[in-house]
């Protein structure tokens, strides 16, 4: 039987993207702002003024979105960030995220703060990958 969630009117791919990659309302709003203004690059300072947030917080959001292949870094002093998804399918997904956020904002925000997501993040904080173990050590230690 397929998994049914309380946000069933949100497409599975949008739900999964938000659940897996979006950790705050600020992060999704920065992403959608940059998507809307894709014709230019923005500095963290400009975005911190735009969102009335700390530059440190905005920098964290931007680095995460670069790592996800959604933004690119342009220039170098100061560094600018520009919407540049890594593939047409990523761009299409992000269009769906933007459309969903515009009409179902509360549902997506609830997903961002869902207890299940928080529990997974807490559990992930205690995961130790095999690559972090010293060479030659196995699970039996």
Burial class (CB within 10 angstroms; exposed 0-12, middle 13-18, buried 19+) of 46:
middle
| Dist CA 45 CA 79 (whole Å) | 10
Per-residue pLDDT tens for 112-131? 888 666 555 555 556 654 44
Contact indicator for 111, 52 with CB cutoff of 8 Å: no
Which residue(s) pair with 73 in the sheet? 81
| Dist CA 78 CA 134 (whole Å) | 39
Q: What was the pLDDT predicted at 131? A: 45
Per-residue pLDDT tens for 73-89? 998 889 999 999 999 99
Q: What was the pLDDT predicted at 76? A: 80
Class of domain 12-124: mainly alpha
Q: How far is residue 86 from each of residues 3, 31, 55, 93, 104, measured CA to CA in Å? A: 29, 14, 25, 11, 26
Q: Residues in the chain with pLDDT < 50?
A: 1-7, 129-141
Q: What was the pLDDT predicted at 125? A: 55
Is 53 strand, coil or helix? coil
- Structural domain boundaries of the chain? 12-124
């Amino acid at each position: 039987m397929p998994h049914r969630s309380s946000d069933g009117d949100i497409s599975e791919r949008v739900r999964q993207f938000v659940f897996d990659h979006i950790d705050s309302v600020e992060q999704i709003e920065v992403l959608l702002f940059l998507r809307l203004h894709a014709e230019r690059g923005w500095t963290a300072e400009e975005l911190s003024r735009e969102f009335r947030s700390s530059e440190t917080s905005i920098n964290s959001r931007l680095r995460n979105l670069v790592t996800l292949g959604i933004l690119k870094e342009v220039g170098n002093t100061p560094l600018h960030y520009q919407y540049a998804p890594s593939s047409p399918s990523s761009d299409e997904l992000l269009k769906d995220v933007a459309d969903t956020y515009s009409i179902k904002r509360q549902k997506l925000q609830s997903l961002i703060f869902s207890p299940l997501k928080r529990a997974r993040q807490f559990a992930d904080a205690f995961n130790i990958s095999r690559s972090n173990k010293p060479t030659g050590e196995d699970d039996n230690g």
